[in-house]
A = this chain, B = another copy of it.
Amino acid sequence: MSALTLAKASEIVDAALGHALELGLRPLTITVLDPGGHPLVVKRQENAGILRPQIAHAKAWGCLGTGQGGAAGARHATRDPAFFAALAAISDGRVASSKGGALIRSEDGELLGSIGVSGDRPDNDEAVAVFGVEKSGLVADAG
């Protein structure tokens, strides 16, 4: 059993933010959830849009909700937009199937939680999410 601690989740978020600074991205919000979908860490850069916390949460929560990374979710949404709209309603707005969300796993494949990043373009959000997780010695399943 290797549950994600607050200390580990903070390490992931800080590594991700450091990478965003290196890349010169727009202001971000980054959220790490435990396997139950409850936040361990949320950090929002001070100039990020005021909906970014909810979007980052929904990217991370959506991965746990459907068991797949954000890129897989985004492809699914493109193929089947009506189902995706239903998911938004079913989940009471907790699902955004978009790049920037990833499942977090141990090296053994155990599900430890998820990460969501919002604020820049989807590809950049995803790069930051994956960097933070892998820098911390865990596995990012971005889909």
Residues of A within 8 A of B (CB): 1, 3-6, 10, 26-27, 34-55, 58, 62, 64-67, 77-78, 81-98, 111, 119
Q: For A3, what are the chain B residues with a Cβ–Cβ distance below 8 Å?
A: 46
User: Among B48, B51, B66, B81, which residue has its beta carbon within 8 angstroms of that of A49?
Assistant: B66
Copies of the chain in the assembly: 4
Q: Do B90 and A58 touch across chains, with their CB atoms under 8 A apart?
A: yes
Q: Do B64 and A83 touch across chains, with their CB atoms under 8 A apart?
A: no
Q: Do A64 and B86 touch across chains, with their CB atoms under 8 A apart?
A: no
Q: Do A38 and B53 touch across chains, with their CB atoms under 8 A apart?
A: yes
Q: Do B92 and A89 touch across chains, with their CB atoms under 8 A apart?
A: yes
Q: For A90, what are the chain B residues with a Cβ–Cβ distance below 8 Å?
A: 51, 54-55, 58, 88, 93-94, 96
Q: For A78, what are the chain B residues with a Cβ–Cβ distance below 8 Å?
A: 82
Please give me the residue from chain B that is nearest to A51 by CB atom: B65
User: Among B38, B40, B55, B94, which residue has its beta carbon within 8 angstroms of that of A36?
Assistant: B38
Bound-state Cα–Cα, A5 to B27, Å:
12
